[in-house]
Structure formats: C-alpha cells, structure tokens
Amino acid sequence: MITGRRKEKYVAEITSGTHTFVADIAQKYGGTDLGPDPHEIFEASLAACTIITVQMYADRKEWKLESTDVKISIDKEGPQSHLLREITFKGDLNEEQITKLMEIANKCPIHKLMTSEISISTVLVTSS
C-alpha cells in the first residue's frame, strides 16, 4: 500500500513500506522542486519495471546483459496520451536475444497495468 500526505505547500510525502520519498512540482509552478513531479514518478515506474523485468529474464537465461537504459517521455496531443519508451541494452547479446528482451519489456507488470482498462474509486475517509 502506498500512502501520501501533504508535507508543505505542494510537497507530498509518499510512504511505501519502509521507504519514504517526496513528490513536488517545479518552482516555476509554485513548488519547491524537492522531488520529482507526479508525471515523472509515473514515467519512472515504467522505466524501473522495464529494467528489472528484462534483467530478471536475462539472469534466468544466463545472458550477458550488463545494463539496460530506459528513457520515457509523454506526448500529450488532444485527448490521448502517448508514452515513448526508448530502450538500450548493453552487453554481449545477439539479435535474437535483443528481440526477446524487447518482447519481455512489453510484459513488465507496470506496462501491463498502464495498457489495461483501469478504473479508480475515490472515497472520503473522515477522521474522528
């Protein structure tokens, strides 16, 4: 479970298990830029999941994947948003392995979540 609370002006303190980090917005929008903005966290989730998923697969296959670099950008045109994920694999890999790793990248859990039909329920919780 992820929890968040307002820490100051536009800073949100996010807690996940034993980890805590902050989200904020840029100074030009009135924030203090103490952490990534929510869009950057969204993009980072896809990048991190992609890296971890392909590395786990390569490890199981004992492939020589040294590192994976992922760059995510959001293009918002009209009512639809488009994510561009650029992946670079470093290591001693052949074309067949690279093709398979690209296929595996599309199977990372965050990719599946982002491309699924999602509904969000919001409820007000009052304190006593």
29-45 pLDDT, tens digit each: 999 999 999 999 999 99
Can you give the residue range of the structural domain that contains 75? 38-114
Residue 59 domain flag: yes
Amino acid at 122: T
> Are 49 and 70 in a shared domain?
yes
For the chain, how many helices (H) and strands (E)? Answer: 3, 5
Mind listing the pLDDT tens digit of every residue in the chain (128 residues)? Answer: 777 777 788 899 999 999 999 999 999 999 999 999 999 999 999 999 999 999 999 999 999 999 999 999 998 877 888 999 999 999 999 999 999 999 999 999 999 999 999 999 999 998 76
Q: How many CB atoms neighbour CB 79 within 10 A?
A: 5
pLDDT at 5: 79
Residues facing 20 on adjacent strands = 15
- How many independent structural domains does the chain possess? 2
CB < 8 Å & 24+ apart, contacts of 67-70: 67/91, 68/101, 70/46
Of the candidates 109, 63, 110, the one whose C-alpha atom is nearest the C-alpha of residue 89 is: 63
